[in-house]
Amino acid sequence: MNDFRPSLSRGYAGTAGQQVARNQVLKNTYWLLAISLIPTVAGAAIGLFTGLNQVMNASPMLSVIVFLGGAFGLMFAIEKNKNSSLGVGLLLLFTFFMGVMLSRLLGFVFGMGNGAQLVMLAFGGTAAVFATMATLATTIKRDLSGMQRFLFIGAVIILVAALANMFFQIPALMLTISVLAIGIFSAFMLVDLQRVVNGGETNYVSATLAIYLDVYNVFSNLLMLLGIFGGDRE
């Protein structure tokens, strides 16, 4: 009996320690995610005020090449350096870059009479989605990691369809892509948040990168839909 009690104590200590580690990763992820919005806004502002958004509109194919090359290159560098402070710096640089890329869509929406209201509505809608997914991530007991494979396939299909639609310019396809993207990346958000909550992701830089991409895609596609259906073009 004396031999059993110490091992039981160590088991409780290990469980408590794991919970503390999970909470710390979750806390750091939320903080870094909040901070990452600052360079995103700065990048978007620079893109708008310097006219980079108009340059991207004039050369959409070049913009896509720059976007894909810059985004995937920075994501690769972030994952390579995720265990150092350099990883944090690269993540903030990535969010700045994504803000610059977002300025093209923002310029389109701000050109409408109610553009500012649409941006705020998209921000509020994205915040509501995030709050809902964060709540579900802490309450759903079932492991949702099995969804990742199907969600990834869906994301690849959306990317290919979006690239193809640059040539075909089919409005119905563009709307379908945006609706599907909101659904898929909302589900991705739930899976990524639950992975942090359950301790499946122990690096807050990687966790922030994944969740940031989810939030970014939900916001941009929601803003696109709002601009199409709710924009005042007068």
**Across all residues in the chain, what is the average pLDDT?**
89
- Is 9 inside a domain boundary? no
Report helix angle 204-230 to 85-110, nearest 10. Answer: 0
- Is 63 inside a domain boundary? yes
- Is 96 inside a domain boundary? yes
- Is 5 inside a domain boundary? no
Count the domains in the chain: 1
Write out the residue range of the structural domain in which residue 67 sits: 21-230
Return d(Cα 181, Cα 118) in angstroms, integer.
Answer: 19
pLDDT at 59: 86
Residue listed under structure tokens 């599907």: 180
142-193 per-position pLDDT tens digit:
989 889 899 999 999 999 998 888 888 888 989 999 999 999 999 999 999 9
16-63 per-position pLDDT tens digit:
667 787 889 999 999 999 999 999 999 999 999 999 989 998 888 888
55-93 per-position pLDDT tens digit:
998 888 888 999 999 999 999 999 999 999 999 999 999
